[in-house]
Amino acid sequence: MMTAEIYPNSNQARIILCSGHPEFKVRWGGHIEDVEDDDENNLYEGFYRWVDFIPEEETVEDERTYNYGVMRRVIAWASKKVPDNDLPPIYGPSQVSDIYPYNQPSEIIINGNVEETDGIASLDLYYRYSNNNTTWNPDWTYYDTDVDSSNGWSWNFIAPEESGYYEFYSIRRVRYAHDEWLNETAPPGADAICFIKIS
């Protein structure tokens, strides 16, 4: 797939880039090896192969569930027809929902999205700041924890910096019996971004 777009644009377009045929089944277990070097090597047949994976007849349900789930989620997200809070998180068991409109006042409500769990969950909000949307503070700053999901996961965010760009992500923490904790790791990037104008 190839695309040529002006991004971002006034419609806040969403673009999905993926590998060829993402609907194809995945391999479970095993590892990748180089193909033997001979006169028949070619790009179409490939230069690597997956070996020692679990047989397809044992994993077909996992393959369908995983691939169909990924495809359905990216299509729903790109369409903007399904609210972000109705989509499963991308990187882990939680995420900060996209913030609309992009331009916000100094005090806003930020919403989170969390997978259900059998334990007692709480959700931490982290942010970082930039005055130009190019150079960002290198460290993320903890802001607040929501411990009550009865009215949905959310935070009342009052911008602690000047007017500028704010990125956000969330961390889910789950406490099980006997004070056993399972804490989400930080995502590779921001879940959401907005511009905040301090009046």
Give tens-digit pLDDT for 94-147. Answer: 999 989 899 999 999 999 988 888 888 899 999 999 999 999 988 999 999 999
Number of structural domains (the chain) is 2
Residue 61 CB-density burial (10 A; 0-12 exposed, 13-18 middle, 19+ buried): exposed
The pLDDT tens digits for 142-198 are 999 999 888 889 999 999 999 999 999 999 999 887 778 888 989 888 999 999 999
Tell me, what's the pLDDT at 5?
64
Between 110 and 18, the higher pLDDT residue? 110
Please tell me the predicted confidence (pLDDT) of residue 153.
92
108 forms bridges with which residues in the sheet?
157
Output the pLDDT for position 123.
95
Burial class (CB in 10 A: 0-12, 13-18, 19+), 169: buried
Specify the CATH number for the domain of residue 152: 2.60.40
Evaluate if residue 9 carries a pLDDT over 70.
Answer: no
Any domain includes 88: no
- pTM recorded for the entire structure: 0.66
Q: How many other C-beta atoms are found inside a 10 Å radius of the C-beta of residue 162?
A: 11
**Residue ranges making up the domain that contains 54:** 1-82
Are 127 and 163 found together in one domain? yes
| Judgement on whether residues 151 and 171 belong to the same structural domain of the protein | yes
Dump pLDDT digits (tens) for 31-85. Answer: 889 888 888 888 877 888 888 888 777 766 656 667 777 788 888 888 888 877 7
Same domain, 103 and 61: no
**Which pLDDT score is estimated for 65?**
66
